Amino acid sequence: MKTIRDLDIENKKVIIRCDFNVPIENGIIVDDTRIKGALETIKYCIKNNAKIILMSHLGRIKEEKDLKKNNLAPVAKRLSELLEQDILFCDKTRGEELEETIKSMEPRDILLIQNTRYEDLDGKKESGNDPELGKYWASLGDVFINDAFGTIHRAHASNVGIASRIESAIGFLIEKELKALNTLNSPERPFIVILGGAKVADKIGVIKNLVTKADQILIGGGMAFTFLKAKGYNVGKSLVDNDNIDFCKEILQKYPDKIILPVDFAVTNEFTNDEEYREKTIDNISDDEMGLDIGSQTTAMYKSIVLKAATIIWNGPMGVYEFEKYKKNTDELLEFICNHNIKTILGGGDTVASATKLGYKDKVYHASTGGGATLEYLEGKELPGLSAIK
Ligand code: AMP
């Protein structure tokens, strides 16, 4: 895979597709991790005297009212503070003002273009990879760097549209993501996968791909109940993905020693944080109960398994992590892993958010910046954002 180091960027107009999709509340950036993640590539371009044109999406744009809250202006301000340099900001995604600004740029100048998804208001031009838009954006630069890992599983005008038209490479952030995820192709063993979250359907591809590589897969979250129902247990009112019971049966039959299921759960009668915390073993769940977290026996069992692991990948929480009471076992297991120096990759989304909140993000080998992208990579799928560069 061609990286930024392989390109001659001296005095060139370098378009960098960043992932500045940061949480913004009332115009204030609540978490700037993603902006900081882009700095290495940007600084490299400054050092190499490039004229730097940054692009990113922010949120989703479906109607006029989405424009204001997804304006990238606060990102330009934060970036300017982090780089201690003025950042040019163009409020438009195309047009004369943008073209004139680019023409006037000197080496080391940095321009941030408005949210690429502003183009979605008019017929989903960005998300639909409109060829005319991709061609136009490509015409603004000499070379293209894709450094937005979170969108490489999508073919958008701001990644595939540009990459397929001008000389392209990946930036340092994507390089780091791929390097970390590629270690899973020949992992140090035992290699343990931890999978949680809501639906089996979302993780089928990952299970199919990783079950052949992993030594064990520890299942938690809502997903566990579909597997347990497939084994004949009564799971009460717990979340069950009925369409995938057969898939679970098949996997359990084929890999009986690899798929490890919870033995107990924190249960409630309703989907709420308000009931008293109580646990039940899997053979004791009644018809009017549902499991909202793995239980303490399961957590202890999972700890003893991960203690022997040399490599771990974890995607998805063990319980309803949004409820204070039912994030307990996810946090406890995460804390345990982080304190035991095991080479761990957190596969994006909720798991990384938990680690960040607990202050453990920097203790893991890698915390992926892409949720969907990470999952699709782990499924072994071809990712359009990368193929366009190859
Ligand atoms: P995912 O995006 O697939 O990783 O799923 C994350 C979601 O799974 C979170 O919103 C959790 O609330 C949900 N989840 C985890 N455990 C359970 C459970 N036992 N019952 C219902 N939802 C769950």
pLDDT digits (tens, 9 = 90+) for 315-370: 999 999 999 999 999 999 999 999 998 999 998 778 888 888 888 888 899 998 88
Residues in Cβ contact with 16 at an 8 Å cutoff, skipping those fewer than 6 apart: 38, 41, 42, 45, 52, 53, 54, 55, 144, 145, 147, 171
* The pLDDT value given to residue 332: 96
Asked if 202 and 176 count as a contact pair (C-beta separation under 8 A), the reply is: no
Could you say which of 199, 258, 280, 361 is catalytic? 199
* The pLDDT value given to residue 3: 98
Distance 254 CA to ligand 1 centre (A): 26
pLDDT digits (tens, 9 = 90+) for 58-72: 999 999 999 999 999
* The pLDDT value given to residue 236: 98
Looking at residues 112-118, what average pLDDT do you find?
A: 98
Asked if 180 and 156 count as a contact pair (C-beta separation under 8 A), the reply is: no
Q: Whose CA is nearest to atom 21 of ligand 1?
A: 222
Asked if 252 and 226 count as a contact pair (C-beta separation under 8 A), the reply is: no
- Locate CATH 3.40.50.1260 in the chain: 4-177, 186-378
Sequential DSSP letters for 284-337? G--TT-EEEEE-HHHHHHHHHHHTT-SEEEEES-SS-TTSGGGGHHHHHHHHHH
* The pLDDT value given to residue 356: 81
- Is CATH 3.30.470.20 what the domain over 186-378 is classified as, yes or no? no
Mean of the per-residue pLDDT values of the chain? 95
For the domain 4-177, what is the CATH superfamily, name and number?
Phosphoglycerate kinase, N-terminal domain (3.40.50.1260)
Measuring CA to CA, how many Å separate 214 from each of 72, 82, 190, 292, 378?
41, 40, 8, 26, 12
Give yes or no: 78 in active site: no
pLDDT digits (tens, 9 = 90+) for 14-69: 999 999 999 998 889 998 989 999 999 999 999 999 999 999 999 999 999 999 99
* The pLDDT value given to residue 370: 82
User: Which atom of ligand 1 is nearest to 224's Cα?
Assistant: 19
Looking at residues 375-386, what average pLDDT do you find?
A: 92
**Separation between Cα atoms, residue 87 and residue 77, nearest integer Å:** 7
> Residue 253's CB: how many other CB atoms inside 10 A?
10
Checking if the pLDDT of 390 tops 80, the result is no
The dihedral through the CA atoms of 298, 306, 223, 23 has a sign that is positive
Q: Which of 321, 322, 328, 376 to mutate to test the pocket of ligand 1 (most atoms within 8 A of CB)?
A: 321
The dihedral through the CA atoms of 55, 60, 62, 65 has a sign that is negative
* The pLDDT value given to residue 267: 98
Distance 117 CA to ligand 1 centre (A): 28
Give yes or no: 94 in active site: no
pLDDT digits (tens, 9 = 90+) for 288-311: 999 999 999 999 999 999 999 999
Tell me the pairing of strands 28-29 and 24-25: antiparallel
pLDDT digits (tens, 9 = 90+) for 244-270: 999 999 999 999 999 999 999 999 999
Asked if 162 and 136 count as a contact pair (C-beta separation under 8 A), the reply is: no
pLDDT digits (tens, 9 = 90+) for 69-100: 999 999 999 999 999 999 999 999 999 999 99
Give yes or no: 348 in active site: no
Checking if the pLDDT of 186 tops 90, the result is yes
Distance 223 CA to ligand 1 centre (A): 8
Q: Whose CA is nearest to atom 5 of ligand 1?
A: 197
Q: Whose CA is nearest to atom 13 of ligand 1?
A: 198
* The pLDDT value given to residue 2: 97
Amino acid identity of residue 194, one-letter, is I
User: Which atom of ligand 1 is nearest to 196's Cα?
Assistant: 4
Radius of gyration of the chain (CA): 23
Checking if the pLDDT of 115 tops 90, the result is yes
Measuring CA to CA, how many Å separate 261 from each of 249, 310, 320?
13, 21, 17
Give yes or no: 128 in active site: no
* The pLDDT value given to residue 62: 96
Checking if the pLDDT of 145 tops 90, the result is yes
Residue 359, phi-psi category: left (phi > 0), alpha (psi -120 to 50), beta (remainder): left
- Could you tell me the pLDDT band of residue 187, with boundaries at 50, 70 and 90? very high
Distance 226 CA to ligand 1 centre (A): 13
User: Which atom of ligand 1 is nearest to 203's Cα?
Assistant: 3
Residues in Cβ contact with 180 at an 8 Å cutoff, skipping those fewer than 6 apart: 345, 365, 366, 368
Could you say which of 13, 17, 34, 78 is catalytic? 34
Question: Residue 29's beta-bridge partner residues?
Answer: 24
Could you say which of 59, 128, 205, 372 is catalytic? 372
* The pLDDT value given to residue 388: 96
> Residue 275's CB: how many other CB atoms inside 10 A?
13
Ligand 1 environment, Cβ below 6 A: 196-199, 202, 221-222, 239, 291-292, 316-317, 319-322, 349-350
Q: Return the SS3 of 346.
A: strand
Q: Which of 320, 333, 351 to mutate to test the pocket of ligand 1 (most atoms within 8 A of CB)?
A: 320
**Separation between Cα atoms, residue 319 and residue 222, nearest integer Å:** 7
Distance 342 CA to ligand 1 centre (A): 25
Q: Which residue has the tokens 């309803």?
A: 320
**Separation between Cα atoms, residue 81 and residue 100, nearest integer Å:** 25
Distance 341 CA to ligand 1 centre (A): 27
Asked if 195 and 350 count as a contact pair (C-beta separation under 8 A), the reply is: no
Q: What are phi and psi of 25, to 5 degrees?
A: -120, 125
Q: Model-level pTM?
A: 0.89
